[in-house]
Amino acid sequence: MNGTSNAKVLNERVFEGQNRIVRVNYAHKRNMMKQRMCGVLLLAVLIFAVSFAEDMELVLAAVPAALYLLFTKKTILSFECE
């Protein structure tokens, strides 16, 4: 350096954490979206069952399952065709 530049000297340690490639698993994201849609569909069926058939036993059993499908981060249902 000749002393005329005010730029910072960058060493290799600054760039070590920035060279990582982040891989996104889109198949997992699609699977989770389908799982959440199944949870929404199950809730819609339950609302239909309560409004027309007045079946409260079905609601008491299936609402926790539908909410679990909606809010879990685990893969419960798998939609991948191999």
CB 77 within 8 A of CB 42: no
The pLDDT score that the predictor gives to residue 41 is: 95
pLDDT in tens, 27-76: 889 999 999 999 999 999 988 888 888 878 888 888 999 999 999 999 98
Q: What is the CA radius of gyration of the chain?
A: 25
* pLDDT tier for residue 17 given thresholds of 50, 70 and 90: low
Check whether 14 has a pLDDT greater than 60: no
pLDDT in tens, 2-12: 666 656 665 55
The pLDDT score that the predictor gives to residue 53 is: 82
Q: Please enumerate in sequence order all residues whose Cβ is within 8 A of that of 38, keeping only pairs 6 or more positions apart, or say none.
A: 69, 77
Check whether 16 has a pLDDT greater than 60: no
Quote the longest CA-to-CA distance of the chain: 85
